[in-house]
């Protein structure tokens, strides 16, 4: 049988073929064993006659008959046979019976294999029927297989866990699309409304057009940043360009970039630790990740507070910490802060975030095969810790 034909068979057909083949193989071995061992115990020498002659005589009723006489017979007797009877070779008889028995055993094996396959695959058919009814519209449905603790139950339980992950992913995707639509709608609505106001005013002056131009510029900038963030979240690992990055230099660039915000919010920016440490990373992406953390520390802070970024090295890891003296994050919000478009309930009035900053930071850290952790206490601030390198 060809490999292609075998692979096109159903599981039930494969079980039947394999079981039948096993029965045939066992039967064939039995036949070979019998035919090999039989000649040891069956010979033509024991009790065989020396000569055979035909004798014409009469039976008890006086009717003439022809008989076959063997002489000399066992113990001096003459053995009489009907001449129509042909004496068969015992080994030949055994071989005939072996072949017939093999055919019967194989036929019985095929029948038994079909019955066993049908009974054994009933749970698979049940799982298959239930799974066929599940679609994107009812991902909350589960197989809930209650059979024996065997391979079928393991498969069904694994399928249920997979459905749970799919349901969660679909829900996240749906929420993501909804939030994305909202983020896109806000600047577009602002553009449309201001454009309609401008077009409906026949007495519009140069100042009105300049105002609309400023609003349009801000809206377009917001859309550009949103698109850039989404593209960054979709960035694949293979696109990372790694090179040696001196953390002290990177920290200094970020703090210099955010200095105007710190000055406006009256927040002290500082860096500490081993600033000579070098890591293999994508400088642009790592800059973005740390800038997001530090910028959050500036906006979610108190006047007179601080944001400090530091670096240290253990035996196998480089650890980067961003600590702030800000408003902190409640325990029920900590589990969600790295989700896309998630916004904490406590907001800063003068900061219109999109809820993507921490998600982007976590994504960048993951692209570098690192991890990020956070500790926070409401009213006392937060500490974000990035681990780069083997654990």
How does pLDDT run across 275-301, given as a tens digit for each residue?
Answer: 999 999 988 889 888 988 998 899 889
151 found inside a domain: no
Residue 320: the pLDDT is 95
Residue 193: the pLDDT is 82
Within this chain, do residues 10 and 24 fall inside the same structural domain, yes or no?
yes
Indicate the pLDDT class of residue 373, thresholds 50, 70 and 90.
Answer: very high
Residue 307: the pLDDT is 95
149 found inside a domain: no
pLDDT over threshold 60, residue 59: yes
Within this chain, do residues 175 and 79 fall inside the same structural domain, yes or no?
no
Domain endpoint, select from 108, 128, 148: 128
Q: Name the percent of the chain lying above pLDDT 90.
A: 19
Contact 281, 388 (CB under 8 A): yes
86 found inside a domain: yes
Within this chain, do residues 330 and 346 fall inside the same structural domain, yes or no?
yes
163 found inside a domain: no
What span, in angstroms and rounded, lies between the C-alpha atoms of 304 and 383? 18
Within this chain, do residues 49 and 188 fall inside the same structural domain, yes or no?
no
Residue 317: the pLDDT is 92
Residue 170: the pLDDT is 77
Contact 340, 178 (CB under 8 A): no
Within this chain, do residues 16 and 124 fall inside the same structural domain, yes or no?
yes
Highest average pLDDT, of 147-151, 166-170, 220-224, 361-365, comes from 361-365
What span, in angstroms and rounded, lies between the C-alpha atoms of 104 and 102? 5
Within this chain, do residues 317 and 344 fall inside the same structural domain, yes or no?
yes
Residue 159: the pLDDT is 80
Domain endpoint, select from 128, 161, 182: 128
Residue 18: the pLDDT is 73
Within this chain, do residues 377 and 283 fall inside the same structural domain, yes or no?
yes
What span, in angstroms and rounded, lies between the C-alpha atoms of 344 and 355? 9
Sheet with 371-377, edge to edge strand ranges = 268-273, 306-313, 318-324, 381-388, 371-377
Within this chain, do residues 373 and 302 fall inside the same structural domain, yes or no?
yes
Alpha carbon 9 to its chain's center: 25
Number of domains making up the chain:
3
Read off the DSSP letter of residue 238: G
Domain endpoint, select from 210, 233, 256: 233
Within this chain, do residues 221 and 247 fall inside the same structural domain, yes or no?
no
Task: Provide the domain limits for residue 182.
Answer: 169-233
How does pLDDT run across 125-165, given as a tens digit for each residue?
Answer: 777 777 777 776 777 777 777 766 667 777 788 888 888 88
Alpha carbon 232 to its chain's center: 25
pLDDT over threshold 80, residue 57: no
Task: Supply the mean pLDDT for the chain.
Answer: 77
CATH of the domain at 318: 3.30.565.10
Crossing angle of helices 122-132/151-199, nearest 10°?
A: 10
What is the token pair recorded at 289? 């990740």
Residue 47: the pLDDT is 45
pLDDT over threshold 90, residue 341: no
218 found inside a domain: yes
SS3 call for 308: strand
pTM of the model: 0.53
Stretch 362-370: mean pLDDT, rounded? 87
How does pLDDT run across 195-253, given as a tens digit for each residue?
Answer: 888 888 888 788 888 888 888 887 787 777 777 767 766 665 556 788 999 999 999 99
138 found inside a domain: no
Within this chain, do residues 76 and 178 fall inside the same structural domain, yes or no?
no
Residue 245: the pLDDT is 94
SS3 call for 345: coil
288 found inside a domain: yes
Which segments of the chain does DSSP mark as H helices, in order? 3-7, 11-41, 90-120, 122-132, 151-199, 206-233, 247-265, 283-299, 331-334, 357-367
Residue 274: the pLDDT is 92
CA nearest 174: which of 228, 182, 361, 354? Answer: 182
Within this chain, do residues 205 and 277 fall inside the same structural domain, yes or no?
no
Within this chain, do residues 251 and 191 fall inside the same structural domain, yes or no?
no
198 found inside a domain: yes
CATH of the domain at 201: 1.10.287.130
């Amino acid at each position: 049988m060809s490999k292609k034909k075998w692979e096109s068979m159903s599981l039930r057909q494969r079980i039947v073929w394999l079981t039948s083949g096993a029965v045939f193989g066992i039967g064939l071995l039995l036949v070979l064993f019998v035919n090999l061992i039989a000649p040891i115990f069956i010979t033509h020498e024991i009790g065989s006659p020396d000569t055979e002659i035909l004798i014409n005589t009469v039976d008890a009723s006086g009717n003439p008959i022809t008989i076959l006489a063997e002489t000399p017979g066992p113990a001096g007797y003459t053995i009489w046979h009907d001449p129509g009877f042909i004496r068969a070779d015992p080994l030949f008889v055994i071989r005939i019976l072996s072949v017939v028995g093999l055919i019967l055993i194989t036929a019985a094996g095929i029948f038994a294999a079909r019955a066993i396959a049908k009974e054994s695959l009933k749970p698979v058919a049940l799982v298959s029927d239930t799974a066929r009814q599940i679609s994107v519209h009812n991902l909350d449905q589960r197989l809930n297989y209650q059979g024996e603790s065997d391979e079928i139950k393991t498969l069904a339980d694994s399928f249920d866990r997979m459905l749970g992950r799919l349901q969660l992913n679909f829900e996240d995707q749906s929420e993501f699309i909804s939030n994305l639509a909202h983020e896109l709608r806000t600047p577009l609505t602002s553009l449309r409304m201001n454009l309609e106001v401008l077009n409906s005013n026949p007495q519009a002056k140069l100042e009105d057009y300049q105002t609309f131009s400023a609003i349009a510029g801000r809206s377009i900038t917001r859309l550009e940043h949103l698109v850039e963030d989404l593209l960054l979240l979709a960035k694949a690992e293979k696109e990372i360009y790694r090179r040696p990055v001196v953390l002290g230099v990177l920290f200094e660039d970020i703090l210099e970039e955010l200095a105007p915000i710190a000055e406006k919010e009256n927040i002290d920016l500082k860096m500490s630790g081993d600033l000579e440490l070098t890591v293999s990373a994508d400088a642009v992406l790592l800059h973005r990740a740390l800038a997001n953390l530090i910028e959050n520390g500036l906006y979610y802070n108190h006047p007179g507070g601080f944001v400090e970024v530091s670096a240290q090295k253990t035996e196998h890891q480089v650890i980067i910490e961003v600590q702030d003296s800000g408003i902190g994050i409640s325990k029920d919000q900590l589990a969600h802060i790295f989700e896309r478009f998630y916004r904490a309930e406590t907001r800063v009035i003068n900061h219109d975030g999109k809820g993507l900053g921490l998600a982007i930071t976590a994504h960048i850290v993951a692209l570098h095969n690192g991890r990020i952790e956070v500790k926070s206490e409401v009213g006392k601030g937060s500490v974000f810790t990035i681990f780069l390198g083997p654990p």
